Amino acid sequence: MPAKQELGRSAAEVAITYDFVKANEEYLNEGHKPEPSDLTRGPRSYTAVITCIDSRATPEHWYDLRPNEVWSLRNGGGRANDPGLLRSLMILQATSEVKEIRVLHHKNCGSLYYNNQWVHDLVQKNSPSRSGQYSPSAYPHCQSMGTLPFIRRGDKDEKEIIIDSIKQDVEFLRSHPLVKERVKVTGFYQDLSNGLISEVDVP
Ligand SMILES: [Zn+2]
């Protein structure tokens, strides 16, 4: 069997190309064997995890999950006060049995280092980056768009800020009219350095 493709970064920090089609072919060659319950709607855990888009923070990997075992809802920071995320939660609760919503924020989150103004200024300035440039008409589209940053306060350290954001989001969802009363909302802190996900007490 040929070796699996390796991903990495060169010394020049250029992303190495990954052949997704080939990877899928290799996956199929190894045998796609869904269980009957994998072909029905709704994961077997009845749990939604709200987490960051950070590619290091994949909840399926960290919780050792297979397909159809959790709903993953992701945005920058994994913040709950996001119209798109609330829309998804509304749909899930209307169409499926949701037993728990887990808010999972992680250590070393990039969202600690930006705010709305900073991101909007970058879009307006539109300097070329490694992703290229936006269309010249991009700026008006971001002006009404929040970036859901964490709020740095006083002399709190990074972990305290993240724990605060988890508590805020758990409380926000527990009191939100679009979250059904019987759905349990919990909060967790994900430590990228040691792999531990620990529960945050939100009375
Ligand atoms: Zn993050």
pLDDT tens for 146-161 read 766 666 666 778 899 9
Tell me how far the alpha carbon of residue 86 lies from the centroid of ligand 1, in angstroms: 19
Taking 80 as the threshold, does the pLDDT of residue 52 lie above it? yes
Provide long-range contacts, Cβ within 8 A and 24+ apart, for 169-174: 169/50, 169/78, 169/79, 169/80, 169/81, 169/103, 169/105, 170/103, 170/200, 170/202, 171/202, 172/80, 172/81, 173/80, 173/89, 173/101, 173/103
pLDDT of residue 66: 86
Please check if 164 is assigned to a binding site.
no
CB atoms near residue 52 (< 10 Å): 22
pLDDT class for 21, splitting at 50, 70, 90?
A: very high
* Furthest CA-CA distance within the chain: 56
Tell me how far the alpha carbon of residue 51 lies from the centroid of ligand 1, in angstroms: 8
The domain ranges of the chain are 43-114+149-200
The pTM for the full model equals 0.86
Which top CATH class is 43-114+149-200? alpha beta
Reported as half-sphere exposure (CB side, CA atoms, 13 A), residue 75 has a value of 17
Q: What is the mean pLDDT of residues 153-178?
A: 90
